[in-house]
Structure 1
Amino acid sequence: MIGLVRGQLRRPGLFAMQAPAMLVFGAVVLAAAHAGWALGSAVMAAALIAHGIWDIFHLRANRIVSRSMAEWCAILDLLLGVGILVLL
């Protein structure tokens, strides 16, 4: 919401990077939701780890989202993904 108010959604290249990624991650989540318990958990763990890597890309590029948001999301996604794998 803050990005919308500040006009950051109109920055060039924002949707060129974010929209395809949203579609890919969304498709993976839907596939995991319809898979069996073990396979769905493994797919979800892989998706979280991939999203953590995506967040590290944003952190290194210092674009699209703030650095603190990218750091927090990368750590959260990676820990959750590894945690799910450990529990499997």
Structure 2
Amino acid sequence: MQTLPAAEIKRRGLAALDEVLPNGPVQVIRRNQPDCVVLSLADYERLQQLAAAARPGPDIWSLLLAEEASPGEPRARLDAALAEERAAWE
């Protein structure tokens, strides 16, 4: 994976990313430690499609953050979704 110091992005702005993103994802290094990964929009959308195909339906985080997941939401539904999410981690 390509790397780019955060200081370089701060100094040159998005032009620093424009040079390296066509070659794939870029790992940003801050204080000599990996901090984040920057993806092109095409790579991000492809990753979303792969994730959706691998695990159809909402994940636990979507349920927790969704408007319909209100205090009146049945706990059993959230517990079941959480159990399913944990099983996918293994």
TM-score, normalised to structure 2, is: 0.34
TM-score normalised according to structure 1 size? 0.34
Structure having the larger proportion of residues in strand: 2
Whose Rg is larger? Answer: 2
From the two aligned structures, give the one with the greater helix fraction: 1
Between the two structures, name the one with larger relative contact order (CA 8 Å, sep ≥ 6): 1
